[in-house]
Amino acid sequence: MNSSFDIYEMVTNLIIERLEKGVVPWQMPWKAETGLPQNMVNKKIYRGFNFWLLLTVVDQYGSPFFLTFNQVKELGGHILKGEKGFPVVFWKILESEKKDGSIDHIPFLRYYTVFNLKQTGGIDESKIPSTEAYDHDFDPIGQAERLIECWTDIPEIRFNQSHAFYAPSGDYVGMPNPRTFFRNEQYYSTLFHELVHSTGHINRTRRHEKLTDHRFGSQDYSQEELIAEMGAAFLCHMTGIQNATIENSAAYIKSWIGKFKEDKKMLLAASSMAQKAVDYILEHQSFPNPVTDVESVDQEAEAV
């Protein structure tokens, strides 16, 4: 019996179960001091191209908050002299019924300008949300920590970043400070996600040579995100922290698989590639495979 395959199959089925039942919206499991780019009034975090564009602005100005000209005005503030705003793109597909009853899909695109909070003046400080980082006494989880420490060709991990990411060009992972995560398990789940991304590097499984379209929202990009989160779910299960992470993983997966009309085939394909990524990590350990007690892992899964 291939015990590793049994675990992969079991975790995939758990994820599918949660997708079928409906899952809570995915939440960012940490709060860094600078935070992620978001509208200060409605608290919504920007997505897609807007997220990456404004993330560079957050690094430049040191504040994660953005407002439109009218929002600044409504809060009693003003734009500082000489400051220029940044374009935010909004688009969606509108449906229009034709005379013959068929549906026409029309792309709707517009943009508006936002300003970073630090580009404004006169706003009452009591109206500005706190940007203090979440802080707790981080307690490393033994089995998860060993999996990371024993990976022989693991990429460099750079801490104290404003967000979690994998940089293929430099082959390194960026992570927020572990103390800024709400739960210790969420730190490892996030780190596992980025480390699974790194297995696609040309010096490892070469998966990125096949999924070449890295544009945000493309099919290759979306499939790579599914692979990374499925791989993270497998690793969480193998290190015994799945109970605290699986709901968030299912919700994150749902946000991506929705692009393909919740096509389970897409999830199963991603699951297969995620298994290869995890196998690579397990095969490159300086100590034996950490999945030593499959029976106890199965018993834990029943309680999830």
pLDDT tens digits, one per residue of 102-156 = 887 777 677 889 999 999 999 998 999 887 778 889 999 999 999 999 999 999 9
Last residue of a domain, one of 93, 127, 161: 127
Q: Is the model's pLDDT at 95 over the cut of 50?
A: yes
Query: Average pLDDT in the 157-186 region?
Result: 93
> Are 15 and 159 contained in the same domain?
yes
Q: How confident is the model at residue 295 (pLDDT cuts 50, 70, 90)?
A: very low
What are 24's two structure tokens?
């809570």
* Residue 300 confidence (pLDDT): 40
Domain with 89, as residue range(s), is 38-127
Last residue of a domain, one of 127, 156, 190: 127
Tell me which H or E stretch contains 16: helix 3-21
Last residue of a domain, one of 127, 150, 166: 127
Report for 25-34, 144-153, 208-217, 258-267: range of highest mean pLDDT:
144-153
Q: Is the model's pLDDT at 268 over the cut of 60?
A: yes
Name the 3-class secondary structure at 271: helix
Q: Give CA–CA dist 199/169, Å, rounded.
A: 13
> Are 144 and 118 contained in the same domain?
no
In our burial notation (b when 16+ CB lie closer than 10 A, e otherwise), range 158-192 reads eeeebbbebeeeeeebbbbbbebbebbbbbbbbbb
* Residue 30 confidence (pLDDT): 81
Lowest-confidence region among 116-120, 162-166, 187-191, 292-296: 292-296
How many helices, marked H, and strands, marked E, lie in the chain? 9, 9
Query: Average pLDDT in the 181-192 region?
Result: 96
